[in-house]
Chain A
Amino acid sequence: MSGVFSIDRIEDFLYQEAWLLDGKRWKEWLHLYAPDCRFWVPAWKDDHEPVDDPNTGLSFIYYDSRGGLEDRVWRAQSGMSVASTPLPRTCHQVTNVRCEEAESGRLLVRSAWSCHVFDLRAQAQHTFFGHYEHLLASDGGKLSIAEKKIFLLNDVITGFIDFYCV
């Protein structure tokens, strides 16, 4: 698959995801994900060991389908969540992108990320950062996210986190 898709194409896909998140174009963002995708932000069980089994350890966010993400998008845009009203301004940066072949013709993409958050309510800013692992699938030349693992390295959380700031 990496033979079909150049590193430029993969990087552009990750940048597109970040762009859609920061632009709050979340319906389009959801369409990057397969309906049976896994979205996983594990908590840490020790200083340098993230939870490695979502069924025996805790995660910040864990879904094994897109439905959970759709709930979150709906809630953030509902106007009924005080934490999401007003929504913060966010700026994702994705870098250090490396690809390797994975099972079933998929591509495992590792990268580093940070997200600057400007909290309009508090007029204050903070940053979350960590590593991503995207598992990408190709269907007729169109990429989709089969799985995204987000390792959040600074997990003493300022206020709260949601899908749009990790």
Chain B
Amino acid sequence: MDALARLHRLIVDDPQGKDFRVHRDVFRDPEVFDWEMRHIFEATWVFLGLESQVPSPHDYMTTFIGRHPVVVSRDGKGELHCFINSCRHRGALVCHRAFGNRKYHVCQYHGWTYDSSGRNVYLKDRDKAAYPPSFDKEDHDLVSVRKFASYRGFLFASLAADMPSLEAHLGEARWFLDLIADQGGEGVECVPGRVEFRYRGNWKMQLENAVDPYHFTSTHASYIQVLERRQKTAAADVPTSIYTNIRSAGIRRGSFAFARGHAAMWGDTPTPQARALYRSYETLVAKHGEVRARWMFNTRNLVLFPNMQIAENASLQLRVMRPLSVDATEMTLWCIGPKGEPADGRRQRIRQYEDFFNPSGLATPDDVANYEDCQSGFAARSIAWQQGYVRGFEASVAGADRFAEEIGLRPERSLIGPAELGDETAFHSCYREWLRLIDAGLRREASGSAAK
């Protein structure tokens, strides 16, 4: 069976038959992982970081596009560049740190030197080199990525040239980024202190989990109990949380599915006053209107396919996913907040973040343990299909519901229900894009090899 036929056996997407299924091989087959690297992570737009992480001339940060190590660098004029972190000569990394400031990047192997825009400005002992003339006809600059753009300070890049613009790629999901960017007058920044962890599981476990409200009360039962214990003892020195009244009756949860794999889930916040941002509530209403301000205080998890998530609930977290292999994933995590936040608000934001998030918090470790358990369970090769992806199917509607309408949002699908509905339809858009991209990539490769 050829690759395309194998691919199309992995997802059942049959709206008329009210069926949606995901085959377990998407989480355990190394060939599928290779397709994902070549045709998703190294083809579509992926998230790199925030402009505010490289604020000054010659600042740089290093990250990855799929398997490609890349550098985001601000040149002397303040313009941002993104190039592949590999010397044109023998391939060594030219930037070694996560963050730094360098006017020139000197390859430590043979001394080839690049400026902060990636241009090759010096070749050691060039005048004695006896290169043939053909050498000078080659471009010796660091290789720029094909597409690189910022949306409101969020930086994205693509290794493929035939991409729609970043704005078109983000589409309606932009509204959720706007809602983050508008929380402060000067945009958002990362709180100092990067956190990284690796788990023994496929990256799509994390992809799904961010828009999976169903797991909350079972996976995070101990966290919910801790909050209830704190309420009883009423200790003033432990963090309050927006989840303090999570069992309140009548909590609604909704989801939106967008084109190109993006998705969001949202919910009522029973205790918006527990949020650091609440200090700015009046200002935000005056500036953005009551409706948008209210949405800033709703819980919102956003997935920008394939590698970025923003979770705004217990605090505000930015997550970048880096798949390492079919069963290993690296997560880079940042607490983000509005620039210029008052000191007491920033303190509260950080304490709430540490309480819930991170591989050291009271909630994330339980997610991670579940991902790893799932990966262990996938060893049962005789079981082909996951179950339950149609949870929420009968509640999902095409286009906008009244909540999308109130904010002028045009999602592909909308859903609203009680918290216990536990929608799983929000993943469908992710898997549709997953299938579309790999399908297109495999077809490109097939026609390319046929042409040869």
Contact = CB atoms under 8 A, between A and B. Distances in A.
Interface residues of A, number: 43
A41 B370 contact: no
A161 B198 CA distance: 12
Nearest to A165: B360
B100 to A, nearest CB: 9
A121 interface: yes
Contact of A47 (B97, B197, B237): B97
A58 B193 contact: yes
A156 B200 contact: no
Interface in A46-86: 46-47, 51, 54-65, 67-68, 71-72, 74-75, 78, 80-84
Given A74-B229, A159-B200, A161-B359, A83 B195 contact: no
Given A51-B193, A55-B350, A82-B219, A74 B226 contact: yes
A71 B226 contact: yes
B98 A65 contact: no
Nearest to B235: A67
A43 interface: yes
Contacts of B330: 156
Contact of A162 (B99, B225, B360, B376): B360
B199 interface: yes
A41 B370 CA distance: 25
Contact of B198 (A63, A64, A157): A157
Interface in B355-385: 358-360, 362, 364-366, 368-370, 372-373, 376
Interface string B192-232: 11111111100000000000000000010111011001100
A134 B48 CA distance: 39
Interface in A128-164: 155-162
A48 to B, nearest CB: 10
A25 interface: no
Nearest to A47: B97
B354 A67 contact: no
A56 B196 CA distance: 19
Contacts of B416: none
Contacts of A159: 197-200, 359, 365, 368-369, 372
B193 A44 contact: yes
A81 B218 CA distance: 9
A90 B359 CA distance: 17
Nearest to B219: A82
A81 B224 CA distance: 11
B41 to A, nearest CB: 20
Contacts of B351: 62
A127 to B, nearest CB: 14
Interface of B: 97-99, 191-200, 219, 221-223, 225-226, 229-230, 233, 235, 237-238, 330, 335, 343, 346-347, 350-351, 353-354, 358-360, 362, 364-366, 368-370, 372-373, 376
27 contacts: A41-B360, A51-B192, A56-B350, A57-B191, A58-B191, A58-B193, A58-B353, A60-B354, A60-B358, A63-B238, A65-B235, A65-B237, A65-B238, A75-B222, A75-B226, A75-B362, A80-B225, A83-B368, A84-B365, A155-B196, A157-B197, A157-B359, A158-B198, A159-B198, A160-B364, A160-B365, A162-B365
Given A60-B360, A121-B376, A157-B359, 13 more contacts: A55-B346, A57-B192, A57-B193, A59-B354, A65-B238, A67-B233, A75-B362, A82-B219, A121-B369, A121-B373, A156-B196, A158-B197, A160-B197
